[in-house]
Structures are given as C-alpha cells and as structure tokens.
Structure 1
Amino acid sequence: MQDLLRSVSNSYPEFSSGQKKVGDLFFKEPIFLAFSSALEVGRRVNVSESTVIRWTQKLGYKGYAEFQQVVQRKLAEERLEKAEQKRPEPIVDQSFLEKLLDADISSIVKLKKSINEDELLRVVDEISQADQVYVTSNFFDYGIADWFSNWLNLALGNTEMMQPSTGKYYTQISKLGKGHLVIAFAFPRYTRLVIETLKSAKAKGADVIVLTDSAESPAIAYADYVLTVSVNSNLNIDSYTSVHALLTSIMRFVYVKEQTKISGNLAKIEADYKERDLFI
C-alpha cells in the first residue's frame, strides 16, 4: 500500500485542483475509494465523476475500476500481513489466495479451541426434542440459515424458515408456544427484526437458540442457549466458513442422536427421487 501512496504523492503536483481533492481523500481514507464508486467519491469532495476517473488515469490506470481493484488488493494484503506479524512463525512465499484461505482455516481453529461442547450437546438435545423448529436470521445471514433450515426439515420433518415481514412470518409468530424452538442467526449487522422475533418467541414461551459472533450481541439477551462463532471478514466480504463448520457438527450430532428417524425420512425422500428419475 505504501508504494501506491508514494505514487500518488509523487504525482500530486501535476494534479488539477479538483484532482488534488481526490488525492487528499485517498491519503485520509483509502478504504473509501476502495469500496465506493467514482460518483460517490466525487460527491464526497465536491468534484465530478469524470474528475475522479481522470485522476486515476493521471496515475497510469485505464480507469477507476482498474485503480479500485489495485487498492482493494493492496489493502487486503496489508491487512493480512499485519495479522501474520502476530504469528510466532510467519508463513512465507504464500500467494494472496493462500493467505485468504489461511484466514478461514484460522477461524476454524479458533472455533475448535473456543466452542463449549456441553452447550453444543444441549443445543442438539433441544433440536431433537422440539415439537416444531423455526429458523430465522438477519438478511445478511439468510443464505446459510436457509440451508440449515432445509437440512433440519429434510432430516426431522418439523422445521420452517421464518422470513420477517412476510404474511407467512406473522402466521408463524402467532403459532409460537411451549415445545417450539426458534434458532436465530445473529451476526453483524444485527437487525431489529430479528430482535423483535426473539422477543415475541420468549413472550409466547418458545425456547431460543442463538448463533452469534460475540458476547456483545444484542440477541443473547433473549437466548436460552448460545453458540458463539466468529465470522472472518476480508475486503468487506464476510466468510461464514467457521459458522458452516459449526452447523455441520450440529447436523452430525443430530444425525447420531436421531439416526433411526432421520434414516427413515431420508429413505422416503430417496425413494421419491428414484421414482421421478430426478438425478443423472
């Protein structure tokens, strides 16, 4: 990143007054230019979008997109290098991809060391014993929550995904009660909708399991059981690798505990697949 900053500094005297404003912003907040459009950058310093684009061309780039890709890569490499400096034995000669994958591996290792296995087993018991299971999430976590919900329903036949602000959601809320279980994915950014769902679940007597990233999560206040797992973030992209690993462990424990029931349910589904000649 330092070489890029030096390049901008060396070219600074050649910039127009508008381009100098862009350069000043880059010195102060390079991450803003890395993840904002040329139009947004121009608005931030009161210059035109074309001024921002010409500024990147003045630096030797074809356009803003090429410059932005370089900045994103430089910031990511700098961030990972700082993290690696904390290691007793830094890994050398790694590609950028290998560093990113190492970050995900580290998050799984952290989960392995920090997970409370007794709490995990209690969560498995709750899932096995519940009459009805509902899974909900922030919209950033929806994909992995929906995947987990689908597997639970496939295996146990009693799970639904709760998607706030839909007609079905309010029907589900109205049915919550004793013997029901709500599993909430609550990773940043936390939404009020999830918190309101958990408030309603507790008020109606349902049990609540929260999967979240830290002890400061606002969802914990409504949880009967909590599993904490960190989400690794690089380039403003959250990696749920460790969350996926935790969910897979839960699924395997549930399968072992309810093997007869799950095997029967899966056999019925496989028979239907075969009858419909679904797979090649």
Structure 2
Amino acid sequence: MQEILRKVSGAYKDFSSGQKKVGDLFVQEPIFLAFSSALEVGRRVNVSESTVIRWTQKLGYKGYAEFQQVIQRKLAEERLVQAEQEMLEPEADQSFLENLLDADILSIVKLKQSIDEEKLLQVVDMISSAKHIYVTSNFFDFGLAHWFSGWLDMTLGHTEMIVSSEGRYYSQLAKIEEGDIVIAFAFPRYTRALIDTLSTAKKRNAQVIVLTDSSDSPAGEYANILLPVALNSNLNIDSYTAVHALLTSIMRFVYVKEHAKVKGNLIKVEAVYKEKDIFL
C-alpha cells in the first residue's frame, strides 16, 4: 500500500482539482475506494465518475476496476501480515494455552499462504487413478499415516500401510509396480528405513507423494510431488495441526471427485456397524 501512496504523492501536482479531491480521499480512506464504485467515490467528493476513472488511469491503471483489485489485494496482504505479527507476539493478558493455540492457528495461516492448489489437485488425481496405494512414514509420523491410510482404504479400497518393522514389509516392496502410488509422511526425525522405502518405490516405477516439513527434506529427492507443511514446535513437542488440515482437505477433495464410490463404501461400512451393534 505504501508503494501506491507514494505513486499518488508523486503524481499529485499533475492532478486536476477534481482528481486531487479523489487523491485526498484515497490517502484518508483507502478502504472506501477499495469497496465503493467510481460513482460512489465521485459523489463523496463532488466530482464526476469519469474524473475518478481518469484519476486511476493517471496512476498507470487501465481503469477503476484494475485499480480497485490491486487495492483490495494490498489491504488483504496487510491484514494478513498484521494478523501473523499479532499471533507471533504472545499477548500479556493471554494464558499459556491461548498462546499455544494461536501458534497452531498461525501454522494453518502459513499453510494457506504456501500451499500450491494445483499440486493438491494432482495428488487427488493420482490417488483416484492409482492401481494400489501404499502409505508409509517415519516412526514419529506413524499415527498420521495409519489414520490416513485407514480412511483411504475404507473409502476407496486397495490401500495398505507399509511399516519397515513388520514381517510383510519386503513382500509389500516386491508388489509395488508402475501404476501404484506411495504416499510418505517424512517429518523430522528422518529415518533411513523411510528413505530406503522411497528409493525402492522409485526403482519399481511407482509415483511418490511426499508430505514433509521442508523442500530441503531428504525425502524430496524421491518425490514426484512434494507437499511441504511447516510444523509448529513448542517445548520440543511438534504440533501437526497444519498437516491434519492439509490431509482433511485432500480427503474432502477425494470425496468430491469419487463421490459415488466413497459414498457406496461408507454405506457398506455403516451397515456392518449396525449389524454388529458397534455404537451406543
């Protein structure tokens, strides 16, 4: 926003008297111009709509619509930065728990800023078209991988977990082939066993999707698609809040893309729950 204010200041001497009124209003109330029509702005300072439009053109924009889009984006960016700073600085009147939760909220804000939606859609397409899905992880990430693989198997089928310490590990590796995908959770601390699993998957022509904490992760070397998600760490305890948010988004996209199949499989599971009288 400061850049645009400097542009207005630099061109101010060349404005007509009516355009100077528009410039003054912008300096005082940029939000008003961001969300009001050129006609409304003109009425506010007693100038014509065309004067407002010519004022934006004098600043180098094609017209009022383009100027307004830029201002709206700049204001949104400023508010996001301000929100991040507020969350990064613990408030004196907040409890320890509230500050911890704010840190988790910030991790989701960062994910929102950094996530590549096109990659996310590619991941969903790969999951939908895979002949077989394998999910693996470092042992610190076992809970995430187990939960995610369980949901995929329940809704799509043909999904299994690869655990290097299990006896069937090597028979699973032997079955991986072209057309399969391996989804890996590779958050610190990285294990040699996980890297070996991914190396084998690549050699067997499977597609590899890696969820990890950084683009510099050692697992990234084997990834066809890398989805970096920063962890929030406090008191040496990692919070996977943003990872859960990303996985939930993937699950929802899969549900939409494979709606009939997912719904049908869930109905079958519910029927078994009812037959076995599982829930109170």
The normalised TM-score by structure 1 is 0.68
Matches of residues 252-267 of structure 1 in structure 2 within 5 Å? 252-267=252-267
Which position in structure 1 is the counterpart of 2:107? 107
Aligned length in residues: 196
Which position in structure 1 is the counterpart of 2:274? 274
Q: Distance in 2 between matches of 1:169 and 1:248?
A: 27
Q: How far apart are residue 215 of structure 1 and its match? A: 1.2
Which position in structure 2 is the counterpart of 1:179? 179
Q: Distance in 2 between matches of 1:272 and 1:205?
A: 37
- Show structure 1 runs of 4+ deviating over 4 A: none
Q: Distance in 2 between matches of 1:212 and 1:193?
A: 16
Q: Distance in 2 between matches of 1:176 and 1:88?
A: 48
Q: Distance in 1 between matches of 2:86 and 2:173?
A: 51
Q: Distance in 2 between matches of 1:278 and 1:136?
A: 29
Which position in structure 2 is the counterpart of 1:137? 137
Which position in structure 2 is the counterpart of 1:64? none
Unmatched 5+ stretches in structure 1: 1-83
Task: Return the letter of the residue paired with 1:93.
Answer: D
Q: Distance in 2 between matches of 1:147 and 1:168?
A: 20
Q: Distance in 1 between matches of 2:271 and 2:201?
A: 36
Which position in structure 2 is the counterpart of 1:212? 212
Q: Distance in 2 between matches of 1:271 and 1:144?
A: 26
Which position in structure 2 is the counterpart of 1:157? 157
Q: How far apart are residue 92 of structure 1 and its match? A: 3.7
Which position in structure 1 is the counterpart of 2:32? none
CA deviations 1:164-189 (Å, max 9, x no partner) are 13211111100000111100000011
Matches of residues 190-229 of structure 1 in structure 2 within 5 Å? 190-229=190-229
Q: Distance in 1 between matches of 2:108 and 2:125?
A: 24
Q: Distance in 1 between matches of 2:227 and 2:142?
A: 18
Task: Return the letter of the residue paired with 2:145.
Answer: A
Task: Note if 1:87 corresponds to 2:85.
Answer: yes
Q: Distance in 2 between matches of 1:244 and 1:88?
A: 23
Q: Distance in 2 between matches of 1:276 and 1:101?
A: 39
Which position in structure 1 is the counterpart of 2:167? 167
Q: How far apart are residue 201 of structure 1 and its match? A: 0.2
CA deviations 1:59-83 (Å, max 9, x no partner) are xxxxxxxxxxxxxxxxxxxxxxxxx
Q: Distance in 2 between matches of 1:232 and 1:198?
A: 25
Task: Return the letter of the residue paired with 1:141.
Answer: D
Matches of residues 122-133 of structure 1 in structure 2 within 5 Å? 122-133=122-133
Q: How far apart are residue 158 of structure 1 and its match? A: 1.1
Unmatched 5+ stretches in structure 2: 1-81
Contact in 1 for aligned 2:215/2:226 (Cα 8 Å): no
Q: How far apart are residue 88 of structure 1 and its match? A: 5.9
The normalised TM-score by structure 2 is 0.68
Q: Distance in 2 between matches of 1:165 and 1:245?
A: 28
Which deviates more, 164-173 or 195-204? 164-173
Q: CA RMSD in A?
A: 1.5
3-state SS of the aligned residue for 2:270?
helix
Q: How far apart are residue 247 of structure 1 and its match? A: 0.2
3-state SS of the aligned residue for 2:247?
helix
Q: Distance in 2 between matches of 1:148 and 1:223?
A: 18
Q: Distance in 2 between matches of 1:88 and 1:128?
A: 40
Over alpha carbons, which structure has the higher Rg?
2
